């Protein structure tokens, strides 16, 4: 029973355009959400996070949006660059446990 | 500052054998986590140490898995005896505090034949 779902296994986007990666969750106790980026043969690298008290967090080209009523979050990358090509994992936690619950990942390919 | 390191990077063993994975967290990080990713699926939590104490081992699959963190520094994860379904990539992560993001190591790819 997956509590965090990334329904798109892959996404291709042209360089310079916007990449939108989506994530849905089922556990209403989750109050902290993160995006990690993973290159082949490397560990996941923290990208951006958002607390449930916010609905948007921005860091340079990366913005995460949280819709609590829909239990949905998304990561926007603008503009997309070829170096952004990687697998992106959505993760969630609740402040009672601190363990991260990950989705299955979305492979983003940015075409030059 | 050195990141999280894991040893070995790859391990190939036969069913029934024993394997020990090691993780060195970032210096000063009291929180250490083990995760596993099996065949392109989600990264699944295994357990969490605060210093040398196990805080949460709810993700450990069964009693063939034993994790230790003696002295609150590095950690080992032993699988004994290994089964085919234990194959996957084992990640270690560490964080300074409970509310800080977790930094991941490169992982150990375990293949059980």
The predicted structure's pLDDT at residue A95: 76
Q: How far is A42 from chain B (nearest CA, A)?
A: 4
Q: Do A49 and B45 touch (CB under 8 A)?
A: no
User: Is B8 touching A (CB cutoff 8 A)?
Assistant: no
pLDDT digits (tens, 9 = 90+) for A61-90: 999 999 999 999 999 999 999 999 999 999
B61-65 contacts: CB < 8 A, separation 24 or more?
Answer: B61/B86
**What integer pLDDT is reported at residue B1 of this predicted model?**
65
The residue among B43, B68, B33 whose CA lies nearest residue A44 is B43
**In sequence order, what are the residues at sequence separation of 6 or more whose Cβ sits closer than 8 angstroms to the Cβ of residue B39?**
B87, B88
Any idea which residue has 């902290």 for tokens? A32
Distance between A91 CA and the closest CA of chain B, angstroms: 9
Distance in angstroms (rounded) separating the CA atoms of residues A88 and A6: 10
Series of mean pLDDT values for 10-residue runs along chain B (113 residues): 92 97 95 93 94 93 94 94 96 88 95 97
Average pLDDT for A8-28 = 97
């Amino acid at each position: 029973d997956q509590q965090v779902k990334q329904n798109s296994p892959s996404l291709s986007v042209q360089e310079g355009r916007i990449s939108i990666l989506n994530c849905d969750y089922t556990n209403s106790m989750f109050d902290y959400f993160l995006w990690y980026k993973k290159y082949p043969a490397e560990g996941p690298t923290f990208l951006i996070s958002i607390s449930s008290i916010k609905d948007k967090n921005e860091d340079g080209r990366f913005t995460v949006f949280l819709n609590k009523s829909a239990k949905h979050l998304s990561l926007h990358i603008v503009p997309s660059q070829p170096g952004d090509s990687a697998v992106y994992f959505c993760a969630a936690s609740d402040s009672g446990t601190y363990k991260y619950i990950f989705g299955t990942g979305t492979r983003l390919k940015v075409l030059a | 500052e050195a990141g999280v390191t894991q040893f070995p990077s790859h391990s190939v063993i036969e069913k029934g054998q024993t394997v020990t994975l090691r993780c060195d967290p970032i210096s000063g990080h009291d929180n250490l986590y083990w995760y596993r990713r099996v065949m392109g699926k989600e990264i699944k939590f295994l357990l969490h140490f605060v210093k040398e104490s196990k805080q949460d081992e709810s993700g450990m699959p069964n009693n063939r898995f034993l994790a230790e963190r003696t002295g609150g520094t590095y950690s080992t994860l032993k699988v004994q005896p290994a089964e085919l379904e234990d194959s996957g990539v084992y990640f270690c992560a560490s964080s300074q505090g409970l509310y800080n993001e977790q930094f991941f190591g490169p992982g150990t790819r375990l293949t059980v034949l």
